[in-house]
Amino acid sequence: MIKSDFLSHSDNILPLFNPSTCRKTFHDLIQGILIDVNLSDSLKNQYAFILIRIIYSKLSDKRSLGSTTRGRKDYLELNRKYLFQFLITFASNNLYEKHFHYFIQLLLEPFYDELFHTNDKQWLNLFHKKIPLNNDEFNLNSYEIFIKYIQHSLLLLKTFIYKLGVYIHKQIDYIIKFYILTIKFVDYLNNLKSSHEDNFEIKRIRILLKRIRSMSYKGLQTIFQL
């Protein structure tokens, strides 16, 4: 639940995913924030960032990435088309271009430093500096959370690239680099010998690594076909 005009702290509360108001509510909120002359640019950025985070978190639910749950559709599924139409507007409108970049940053968070805190020539160097390139044994289990983090971003990227397509052309360079870094990260882990390789959990993680590597290559293919 959020307030439809929460900047004014109104008592009028609307469901976040009301089928008849979802698209208009999101659009009006963003537009109202960006054109309000009484808000500083810093506050506008913060409020737009919060709203994008709301959309991101709601679409991050696994159910939204595949088919609907058997027997019923929840609010999220009912309103996916409205949310994506909103994001297309957000991505393609010059008024929102700066703020849409924040959304891309959220999507590519696993390699945020490499992609957004370096210049165009240093992103790969920073990655190599952060990865200890040696052949010592290591515990693959310690990487599991980060691996799942990457998988989550890849699943979302697959959905958004399919839906937004050419509307994200100004952000494609970041997305391509994200896929490349993911492949390099997987190759790095696959080239190291983990302790307890026969352990079931280690085998499961190895399978997951193969999966996200494949997803990255397919993502690159999709990008080059746009």
Count CB-CB contacts under 10 A for residue 209: 21
More confident position, 86 or 122: 122
User: pLDDT tens, 155-214?
Assistant: 878 877 877 777 777 888 999 999 999 999 999 888 877 666 677 778 888 889 999 999
Q: Identify which of 11-15, 192-196, 215-219 has the greatest average pLDDT.
A: 215-219
| Short-list 105, 98, 91, CA closest to 53 | 105
Secondary structure string (H, E, C) spanning 206-220: HHHHHHHHHHHHHHH
Specify whether the CB–CB gap between 106 and 160 falls below 8 A. Answer: no
Asked whether residue 217 carries a pLDDT value surpassing 90, the answer given is: yes
Specify whether the CB–CB gap between 104 and 153 falls below 8 A. Answer: no
d(CA 24, CA 29): 8
- pTM for the complete prediction? 0.66
| Short-list 117, 221, 118, 129, CA closest to 184 | 129
What was the pLDDT predicted at 184?
Answer: 92
Work out the average pLDDT over 128-149: 72
